[in-house]
Amino acid sequence: MFSYAARRLASAVPTILVVITIAFFMIRLAPGGPFDQERQVPPEVAANLERAYHLDEPLTAQFVRYLGNILTGDFGPSFRYRDFGVSELLADGFPISMQLGASAMVLAVAIGFAAGSLAALRRNTFSDMAVMGAAMTGIAVPNFVVAPIMTLVLGVWFALLPVGGWGGINHAILPVLALALPQIATIARLTRGSMLEVLRADFIRTARAKGLSERATITGHAMRAAALPVLSYLGPATAGIITGSVVIEQIFGIPGIGRYFVQGALNRDYTLVMGVVIFYAVLIILLNLIVDLLYPLFDPRVRHD
């Protein structure tokens, strides 16, 4: 297993390099610059600013310099937050983004798997149609539409929950729900299809023929087998949670990495945007690796040599 993990990590290096290259040149070629929003300054002052941040060098020279700094763990200074380096901002925002994303993921898996299992066990009943109808709605409506509606209804009209900030459980409910809803819907549909297939499998019929109770058959055999597609989906689901958090953090004013990314993109803060992109890319690769390593726990036929 350790050799497999090492091979996976080694194969991820070219992927990360491609991500860095594309992100670097795309943001540098976009219109505007990091100092365009500053008040008008004399040309010599603007030239000194560009020289201080090496922006007067050719793009290829800037790229090589940036790669060299990354190898030493230096993501550079933020152009917008002048008193902070990008590494400091990432370290400050990651715990908050981690709490938001992990909470949304746990909620999505728990509710989605339970709802999908219920729909499969009560196929073609009202419960099945209700779950699948809600799932289709959750998939069709993106979280950047759901979040303002939840804010308006639960936060403004009924004043049940705070609509912004990050300080306690009450502040987390709306953003976690908004972030988790699309994944709940997808996992519910995936679980239903998997569970229906498992319930028709030979080993389920064998368990019932041996006199095993229906509850033990479902919880001990069917659910474990039905969880395999869900486990495989956790990698893409994590990517969806991460990209969704960029919007959700901005809507609810949460000081996480996603909000830094949006502000950095709007302000042409090259180093901050690059730092967030690289951090997210590495995080997604690591989480996909963890999912692959956990797969044999649910399916003993899978072995990583």
User: Which tens digits make up the pLDDT trace of 39-90?
Assistant: 566 667 667 767 777 777 888 888 888 888 888 888 888 887 777 888 888 8
Positive or negative CA dihedral for 134, 139, 141, 146?
positive
Alpha-helix residue ranges (DSSP H) falling in 86-125: 86-121
Whole-number Å distance between alpha carbons of 24 and 66: 9
Parse the chain into domains and list their residue ranges: 1-305
Whole-number Å distance between alpha carbons of 99 and 220: 31
pLDDT for res 13 = 83
Whole-number Å distance between alpha carbons of 182 and 125: 23
pLDDT for res 34 = 67
Whole-number Å distance between alpha carbons of 177 and 168: 15
Q: Of 287, 288, 290, 262, give the one whose Cα is nearest residue 277.
A: 262
pLDDT for res 301 = 58
Q: DSSP assignment, residue 41?
A: -
Instruction: Say if CB 269 and CB 78 are below 8 A apart.
Output: yes
Could you read off the pLDDT tens digit of each residue along the chain, which spans 305 residues?
667 667 777 777 888 888 889 888 888 777 766 666 555 666 676 677 677 777 778 888 888 888 888 888 888 888 877 778 888 888 888 888 888 888 999 999 999 999 999 998 888 899 889 988 988 888 888 888 888 888 888 888 888 888 888 877 888 889 999 999 888 999 999 999 989 888 888 888 888 888 888 788 888 778 888 888 888 788 778 777 877 788 888 888 888 888 888 888 887 888 888 888 888 888 888 877 777 777 666 665 556 55
Q: Of 290, 278, 305, 291, give the one whose Cα is nearest residue 13.
A: 278
pLDDT for res 288 = 78
At 230, phi and psi to the nearest 5?
-65, -40
Question: What superfamily does domain 1-305 belong to in CATH?
Answer: MetI-like (1.10.3720.10)
Lookup result for tokens 């909000």: 259
At 77, phi and psi to the nearest 5?
-85, 155
Whole-number Å distance between alpha carbons of 204 and 105: 29
| pTM for the structure as a whole | 0.79
CB atoms under 10 Å from CB of 50, counted, come to 15
DSSP symbols for 209-243: HTT--HHHHIIIIIHHHHHHHHHHHHHHHHHHHHH
Instruction: Say if CB 194 and CB 231 are below 8 A apart.
Output: no
DSSP symbols for 234-271: HHHHHHHHHHHHHHHHHHTT--SHHHHHHHHHHTT-HH
Instruction: Say if CB 182 and CB 143 are below 8 A apart.
Output: yes
pLDDT for res 107 = 92
